[in-house]
Amino acid sequence: MNLKRVVVTGLGALTPLGNNVQDYWKNLVNGVSGAAPITRFDASKFKTQFACEVKNFEPTDYLDRKEVRKLDLFTIFALVSAQEAFEDSKLDVEKINGDRAGVIWGSGIGGIGAFQEEVLNFGRGDGTPRFNPFFIPKMIADISAGYISIKYGFRGPNFATVSACASATNAIVESFNYIRLGKADVMITGGSEASVIEAGVAGFNALRALSERNDSPETASRPFDKDRDGFVLGEGGAGLILEELEYAKKRGAHIYAELVGGGLSADAYHITAPHPEGRGATLVMRNALEDANMQPEEIDYINVHGTSTPLGDISETKAVKSVFGEHAYKLNISSTKSMTGHLLGAAGAIESLASILAIKHQIIPPTINHFTDDDELDNKLNFTFNKAQKREVNAALSNTFGFGGHNFSVIFKKFI
């Protein structure tokens, strides 16, 4: 089958490091941490009292006040980041065939804030069910894709992907497939998450998944460091505009990179722990390379899942070595979660942006907060510790893995 080529023509970001793509990238390259004490609620009684929150963000600067009241924060993040991506692409709504334009958006949890608020309000009452009429639409994970499609009049493929922390990469891979199969010309894709609330923090604390380094939030996310003690919860979103190559060329679009491959796999091992030998991670990277018709030696940079958990970092390192062999030592590897924290279902979106921008600027963002080598890892690998590195980047691979054993990888190449 003659598959279409797919390119990236627009980017949007709303992250703990910046509320647009430019600020996000600048702070990534400069090694800035987005972690700080939680401001969204009183976290003084929680085991973890910090997170990577979106900062200096007022929804009514972007959306009508009445509309904001109908939306959970994860959908607000989706609409704002998708809008930046759309404007960046310079697409003209009037010239798009809406029947061949779609939206696929990922979120691992969806409107957990709306759910918490309504349940707490009910619990404080006398038992009479008084629920917000927008409760269900605010909560359901697919609503962001629906709102984006309504805003732009995109009537093509439209749904949400839910695969825990791999949700956004899942959305990107699905969008890629619809375009290359000739079923769409344009797709808005990405992911958003807004889980820095009491239930989110307490839930992950109960799993013992979060760092508890309350005395030093900015150094708490330390992937591949011996003293890592869990991930840092983040929030935000990112959007990408994907287009069929000839469609993009015909309208004179700026092309950031080409999306050339996507891989899927399952660990089939445990609901929260990775396979100790990285079996699923190994398979997903091999599947992505096969899908892209590329050899391991053609990859220059891996934006790893790298959550800063004791088991996860070891498992992923083993997988990288298994897939790339001796070439693993010529790669640059980095975990941008060391700066952004873990955006759960939105992680793959902001990390795809980091991979694309690494190709555009020929700079590898660092893995910050490295203080002590871990003897259980291979310290001959180049984890790009503490400082960005300039190098030739023709192809970048981005990994995201989710609870339940869901694994997705995407590969971006310099467009030629």
pLDDT digits over 248-260, tens only? Answer: 999 999 999 999 9
pLDDT at 66 over 80: yes
Structure tokens at 303: 């934006």
**8-state DSSP, 279:** H
First to last CA, the chain: 22
Q: Is 342 a catalytic residue?
A: yes
Separation of alpha carbons 314 and 304, rounded Å: 12
**Exposed e or buried b for every residue in 359-383, given b needs 16+ CB within 10 A?**
bbeebbbbbbbbeeebeebbeebbb
Distance CA 131, CA 309 (A): 38
- The answer on 340 and 289 residing in a single domain is yes
Find, among 85, 97, 76, 86, the residue nearest to 147 by Cα.
76
Asked whether residue 312 falls in the same domain as residue 231, the answer is no
165 is catalytic: yes
Catalytic residue selected from 275, 342, 370, 406: 342
Contact by Cβ (8 Å): 171, 189: yes
Question: What per-residue confidence (pLDDT) applies to 337?
Answer: 98
User: 320 and 207 in one domain?
Assistant: no
Tell me the mean pLDDT in the region 375-388: 96
Q: Give the tens place of pLDDT for each residue, 318-335.
A: 999 999 999 999 999 999
Structure tokens that stand for 116 in this block: 């918490």
Name the β-bridge partners of 333.
Answer: 302
Residue in 52, 275, 305, 406 annotated catalytic: 305
Whether residue 182 sits in one domain with residue 318: no
Domain limit, last residue, from 221, 250, 279: 250
- Reported as a single tens digit per residue, the pLDDT across 117-140 is 999 999 999 999 999 999 999 999
The verdict on 298 and 370 lying in the same domain is yes
Residue 125: the pLDDT is 94
- The last residue of a domain, from among 195, 227, 250: 250
Task: Say yes or no to pLDDT of 1 above 90.
Answer: no
Q: Is there a single domain that holds both residue 53 and residue 200?
A: yes
Q: Which of 52, 165, 275, 370 is catalytic?
A: 165
> What is the DSSP pairing of strand 36-37 with strand 50-51?
antiparallel
Identify the band that residue 15 occupies on the pLDDT scale cut at 50, 70 and 90.
very high
Q: Do residue 46 and residue 123 come from a single domain?
A: yes
pLDDT more than 90, % of the chain: 99
- Asked if 329 and 171 touch (Cβ cutoff 8 Å), the reply is no
Contact (CB, 8 A) for 36 and 217: yes
The average pLDDT across 133-153 equals 98
Residue 257 belongs to some domain of the structure: no
Phi, psi of 86 (to 5 degrees): -65, -45
195-243 pLDDT, tens per residue?
Answer: 999 999 999 999 999 999 999 999 999 999 999 999 999 999 999 999 9
Q: Which residues pair with 342 in a beta bridge?
A: 233
Residue 319 lies in a domain: yes
Q: From CA 168, how far away is CA 348, in angstroms rounded?
A: 5
- Using DSSP's 3-state secondary structure scheme, residue 52 falls into strand
256 part of a folded domain: no
Say how many C-beta atoms besides its own lie within 10 A of residue 150's C-beta: 11
| Rounded alpha-carbon distances, angstroms, from residue 305 to 10, 263, 285, 315, 404 | 23, 14, 12, 11, 15
- Domain final residue pick, 189, 222, 250: 250
Q: What is the mean pLDDT of the chain?
A: 98
Look up residue 192 and give its two tokens: 């958003």
Residue 327 annotated among the catalytic residues of the structure? no
Q: Residue for token digits 């934006």? A: 303
In terms of DSSP H, where are the helices of 217-364?
245-250, 279-292, 310-324, 337-340, 347-361
295 and 170 assigned to the same domain: no
**CA distance linking residue 348 with residue 266, whole number of Å:** 16
pLDDT single digits (tens) 165-201: 999 999 999 999 999 999 999 999 999 999 999 999 9
Instruction: Kindly state whether residue 180 falls inside one of the protein's structural domains.
Output: yes
Same domain, 195 and 234: yes
Q: What is the pTM of this model?
A: 0.98
Domain count, the chain: 2
- Domain membership of residue 2 (yes or no) is no
Same domain, residue pair 113 and 186:
yes
Is 1 inside any structural domain?
no
The CATH number of the domain holding residue 396 is 3.40.47.10
Residues spanned by the domain of 312: 264-413
DSSP 33-50: ---EE--SS--TTSS--E
pLDDT tier at 380, thresholds 50, 70, 90: very high
